[in-house]
Chains A and B, each alone.
Chain A
Amino acid sequence: MAKRIFSYIMVLILIGTILVSIITTITSQTILNEKYILKTLGKVNYQKEIYNQIMETFKDNTIQSGLEENVLEGVITEDEINEDINNFIHYLYEKDTTISIHEQDVKNRLEENINKQIEEKEKNLTSEEEEAIETYVNTIVKIYKNGIEYSGEKISLVKDMLIKIDKVASIVMIVSYILTVVILVLIIVINKKRTLKYLSIALLTVGILLIGVKIAEVNSVSINNILILNKAFSIFIITVIKDIMLSCLISGIVSMVLGIVMSIISGKTIDE
Chain B
Amino acid sequence: MHKKIKNSILRATITNIIVAFIYAIIIASALAIPFSSKISTAISLINMISVETNKKILSDVKIDLEHNKLESYPEYGERYATIKIDALNIDLPLYFGDKLSILRYGVGQSSGGYFPGEGGSIICMGHNTSGFLRKLPEIEIGTKIEIQAVYGDYTYTVYDTKVVPQTQLDAVPVQKEKEILMLYTCYPVNSIGHAKNRFIAYASLD
Q: Which of B113-137 contact A (CB under 8 A)?
A: 127-129
Digitize B37-57: 1 where CB-to-A-CB distance is under 8 Å, 0 elsewhere.
Answer: 000000100110111110000
Interchain residue pairs A-B with the least CB separation, the first 5:
A132-B193, A204-B20, A267-B12, A60-B100, A267-B9
Residues of B within 8 A of A (CB): 5, 8-13, 16-17, 19-21, 23-24, 27-28, 43, 46-47, 49-53, 100-101, 103-104, 127-129, 186, 190-196
Partner pick for B8 among A131, A212, A227, A267, CB 8 A cutoff: A267
- Which residues of A come within 8 Å of B, CB atoms? 11-12, 15, 56-57, 59-61, 63-67, 118, 123, 125, 129-136, 139, 197, 200-201, 204-205, 207-209, 212, 220-228, 259-260, 263-264, 266-268, 270-271
Q: Which of B27, B52, B127, B129 contacts A209 (CB 8 A)?
A: B27
Q: Is the interface of A mostly helix, strand, loop or mixed?
A: helix
Majority secondary structure, B binding face? helix
Closest to A208 in B: B24
In the complex, A44 Cα to B54 Cα: how many Å? 23
Query: Which of the residues B17, B24, B192 comes within 8 Å of A132, measured between beta carbons?
Result: B192
Minimum CB–CB distance from B176 to chain A (whole Å) comes to 31
Known A-B contacts A56-B101, A201-B16; the reply to A225 vs B192 at CB < 8 A is no
Chain A residues, Cβ within 8 Å of B129 = 63-64
Docked pose: A220 CA to B50 CA in angstroms: 12
CB neighbours (8 Å) of B127 from chain A are 63-64
* A263 pairs with B16, CB closer than 8 A: yes
Cα-based distance from A270 to B11 in the complex (angstroms): 12
Can you spell out 23 A-B residue pairs with CB atoms less than 8 angstroms apart? A11-B23, A59-B104, A60-B103, A61-B100, A64-B128, A64-B195, A66-B190, A125-B192, A129-B192, A134-B193, A135-B196, A201-B19, A204-B17, A205-B21, A209-B27, A223-B46, A224-B50, A225-B51, A226-B46, A259-B20, A260-B13, A263-B12, A268-B5
